[in-house]
Amino acid sequence: MNDKAHLLIVDDEAVVRDSLAKWFQEEGFDVSAAMNAQEALAKMAAQHFDLALVDIKMPGIDGVELQSRMHEIDPEMVVIIMTGYASVETAVAALKNGAYDYVSKPFDPDDIAHTVRNALSHRNVERENTRLRETVATMTQPKEFVGQSPAMMGVFESIQTVGPTETTVLIRGESGTGKELCARAIHAASSRRLNPLVVLHCGALTESLLESELFGHEKGAFTGAQYRRKGTFETAAGGTVFLDEIGDINLKTQSDLLRVLQEREITRVGSSRPISVDFRCIAATNKDLEALVKAGTFRADLYYRVNVFPVQLSPLRERRSDIPLLVDHFVRKFSGAMNKRISRVSPAAMDLLERYSWPGNVRELENAVERAMVVAREPELQEQDFSVQASAAPECTRRSLESVEQAHVLSVIEDCQGNQTLAAEILDIDRVTLHNKLKKYGWRKTTAGAP
């Protein structure tokens, strides 16, 4: 238990020192004694002590002052003040100064034994807590955010700059560029890192479901609401809320969300009582929010509220120099997970990967490497292990103007969910021109704009 804990007894009366030292020795402690503050501080400089019993009334430096000096040397040491008379004033002064407890002389043996034992176990719990917090802090460092290209260096710098602040961040980038990883890195760089990061994919939820996800609901608020449920903002208490695909939220929820971001208050569905919430907001989108604002499908005030500190993640095709680094990272990751001894990629295969356009970005690259790792033979990944081979043919930079235009027009119309007015506005051409181009490229509105 607490055997061989080191105790320091400081008292100017020899009889007190001797009898306490003897008693604690019998209790199984390693005991040292000092007759005044100077001697006590000298002993502390030479040896580590877990706990000190300090008499409050001593010539020269008194117990309260000594206790402060002891904590300057070793803030973790437990100090218990001994008083001749149980005077409230001195005891309060000692406790205010950081003493763990005070005991009045003479001690009841049972009381002093309990006090010392509790003090030591309290100190041990505190120490363990600090150690666990440090462990958690290292565990929350995202390890997968890889890159050395100028674009990524810029992103890392932004994360370090904005991370420790409370600023709302808007992460923009194509799907698969690592928006969630970026959000995690920002959360990990903030003082909120020991509190939760709650991720909400707004695009995946219907209007009413999104509302109850965000704000929670009371029991019986709607059919199926059998229990009271906390929403994202409440769950994130003290942490960060990551709203992914914020461009997909409908107008009604947008106005609710705006209110939460402004007031830092939520009202559960089915309740009228506002609850104050403490969170930091990070949002992400792959949509052109400005265009959505122009088209009237995204509230301008919410846009300004969210777009405080934008972080732009470049698509992989614009930072090809990171591809070997990423491939290497994924190979190491999967070789460990699959227990396969593959540690390199053949030059031909790497060349293929570097030339491919990666429309699905890093996520697509990760999946391609994973698939290749499954089929590959040890010890290296070959060109034929990658299924991207066929589609790798059209090299990105050597394409006709028409094929680039076709790809761009089609991607914009898809992005606008078939809304030709909006797409024409983004492309800055008139609707008739767009209509003709779509016809030429054989586009048909098949999905009726449903996500």
Partner 1 sequence: MNSIQLLPIGTVDQSLLERLSKALTAEFIAGCEVLESAPEPSFALNMARQQYSSTEILASMTDRPVSAEARILAVTSVDLYIPILTFVFGEAQLNGRCAVVSTSRLRQEFYGLPANASLLVERLVKESVHELGHTLGISHCVNYECVMASSHAVELIDLKQRSFCRACRARALAFRK
| 311, 182 Cβ separation under 8 angstroms | yes
Q: Does 85 participate in binding partner 1 (rule CB under 8 A)?
A: no
Which residue of 22, 252, 264, 445 would you call a contact of partner 1, by CB under 8 A?
22
> Between β-strands 274-276 and 265-267, what pairing exists: parallel, antiparallel or unpaired?
antiparallel
Smallest gap from residue 120 Cβ to partner 1 (A): 14
- H helix or E strand, kind and range, residue 16: helix 14-26
Smallest gap from residue 226 Cβ to partner 1 (A): 50
Residue 142: asked if its preceding bond is cis (omega within 30°), the reply is no
> Which amino acid is located at 360 in the chain?
G
What gap in Å lies between CA 77 and CA 80, rounded to an integer? Answer: 10
> Which span sits near partner 1 by CB under 8 A: 17-25, 214-222, 332-340, 393-401?
17-25
Which residue of 28, 150, 154, 296 would you call a contact of partner 1, by CB under 8 A?
28
Q: Pick the closer one to partner 1 by CB: 3 or 428.
A: 3
Smallest gap from residue 17 Cβ to partner 1 (A): 9
Q: Does 27 participate in binding partner 1 (rule CB under 8 A)?
A: yes
Q: Pick the closer one to partner 1 by CB: 89 or 110.
A: 110
* Residue 360: half-sphere exposure toward Cβ, Cα within 13 Å: 8
Please report, to the nearest 10 degrees, the dihedral formed by the alpha carbons of residues 383, 387, 391, 394 taken in order.
-20
> Which span sits near partner 1 by CB under 8 A: 14-22, 43-51, 204-212, 278-286?
14-22
Q: Does 4 participate in binding partner 1 (rule CB under 8 A)?
A: no
Q: Does 371 participate in binding partner 1 (rule CB under 8 A)?
A: no
Smallest gap from residue 2 Cβ to partner 1 (A): 9
Beta strands in 197-314 (DSSP E): 197-201, 216-217, 229-230, 240-244, 265-267, 274-276, 280-285, 309-313
Footprint (CB under 8 A) of partner 1, residues 275-314: none
> Which span sits near partner 1 by CB under 8 A: 12-20, 61-69, 331-339, 399-407?
12-20
Residue 434, helix vs strand vs coil: helix
* Sequence-separated (6 or more) residues with CB below 8 Å from residue 179: 171, 172, 173, 244, 284, 286, 313
Which residue of 5, 20, 94, 281 would you call a contact of partner 1, by CB under 8 A?
20
What gap in Å lies between CA 235 and CA 114, rounded to an integer? Answer: 39
Q: Does 105 participate in binding partner 1 (rule CB under 8 A)?
A: yes
Name the DSSP class of 442: T
Q: Does 1 participate in binding partner 1 (rule CB under 8 A)?
A: yes
What gap in Å lies between CA 330 and CA 8, rounded to an integer? Answer: 55
* Sequence-separated (6 or more) residues with CB below 8 Å from residue 126: 76
What gap in Å lies between CA 77 and CA 87, rounded to an integer? Answer: 24
> Between β-strands 169-173 and 229-230, what pairing exists: parallel, antiparallel or unpaired?
unpaired
> Which span sits near partner 1 by CB under 8 A: 20-28, 138-146, 202-210, 236-244?
20-28
The DSSP bridge partners found for residue 201 are 244
> Which amino acid is located at 407 in the chain?
A
Dihedrals φ, ψ of 185, to 5°?
-65, -40
> Which span sits near partner 1 by CB under 8 A: 21-29, 70-78, 180-188, 238-246?
21-29
Smallest gap from residue 44 Cβ to partner 1 (A): 22
Residue 272, helix vs strand vs coil: coil
> Which span sits near partner 1 by CB under 8 A: 103-111, 148-156, 168-176, 191-199?
103-111
Q: Pick the closer one to partner 1 by CB: 23 or 309.
A: 23
Q: Pick the closer one to partner 1 by CB: 32 or 253.
A: 32
Which residue of 91, 112, 352, 381 would you call a contact of partner 1, by CB under 8 A?
112
Which residue of 6, 12, 23, 259 would you call a contact of partner 1, by CB under 8 A?
23
Q: Pick the closer one to partner 1 by CB: 53 or 424.
A: 53
Interacting residue ranges for partner 1, rule: CB under 8 A: 1, 3, 13, 15-16, 19-20, 22-23, 25-28, 105-110, 112-113
